[in-house]
Structure 1
């Protein structure tokens, strides 16, 4: 099973759509805590859902249980915690939320799942931590970060 991730920042709508189409994504799971900000441009929840479902035949789901908490995000953005501490805190949060019990459910949502966040690159983004976490519970997945 192929699992992908994508961030929308620093991408035009055309680039974003083409990356999803090339990867044959059929279900996008929005892992952002806040997906209605005006700063999200084309990736605001309702706009993104409309584009994906009506023009690309990609199911859209927003799952806040996969998002970092506002406390973790704030501490990281204010440099009160390192990237390593962020990864540990976020992973612990996923465990508290029992996301490990939902891995099969999440992976069954499509042939090619894509986890969405705002960060342009995956290296210091929770989506990379999320797919590493999921991979611990399903070794069959192959991860591709769409950049």
Structure 2
């Protein structure tokens, strides 16, 4: 069993975000955003985030765009005014096409926490990544949303 956390950075303060990571004993943040340098990201902008994670929490930062939706999927989601089912199906097909379950191994997620922008996992691709991998890896991931 591999314990894996997930977290979003919107609708929270930097203090709350980093405290949640520390309390969860996260060792590595795996950024699953396609674009990790947006000015809208605030404290979660790639270079700044890597520095803050190391200095505040002693946590490693890894950007893993293999686990991110494409620009086309993101744009279609916005164009279709957030039709979650269309987005979900498109992203699940993308993960299948990429064969992420063969390109990644469960031990890569040890002490890990998937990061994206959404504050809650319910309509977020980080949850879809966890669910997809668990179906392919026979429930190896024990997922906790921070």
TM range (shorter): over 0.9
The answer for the alignment partner of 1:91 in structure 2 is: 92
Segments of structure 1 that go 5 or more residues without pairing to the other structure are none
- Determine the C-alpha separation between the residues in 2 that align with 1:31 and 1:76: 17
Structure 2 portions without partners, runs of 5+: none
Residue of structure 1 equivalent to 2:143: 143
Contact kept? 1:66, 1:94, Cα under 8 Å? yes
Where does residue 132 of structure 1 map in the other structure? 131
Asked whether the equivalents of residues 5 and 144 of structure 1 are also in contact (C-alpha less than 8 Å), the reply is yes
Alignment root-mean-square deviation, CA:
1.4
Q: 1:82 Cα deviation (Å)?
A: 2.2
Question: Does the Cα contact within 8 Å between 2:30 and 2:63 map onto a contact in 1?
Answer: yes
List structure 1 runs of 4+ shifted beyond 6 angstroms.
none
CA distance in 2, matches of 1:26, 1:108: 13
* Superposed displacement of residue 81, structure 1: 6.6
2:12 is aligned with 1:5: no
- 1:113 paired to 2:112: yes
Matched residues in 2 for 1:118 and 1:110: separation? 19
Q: Give the total of aligned pairs.
A: 144
CA gap of 1:110–1:131, structure 2 versus 1, over 3 A, is: closer
Name the structure 1 match of 2:65.
64
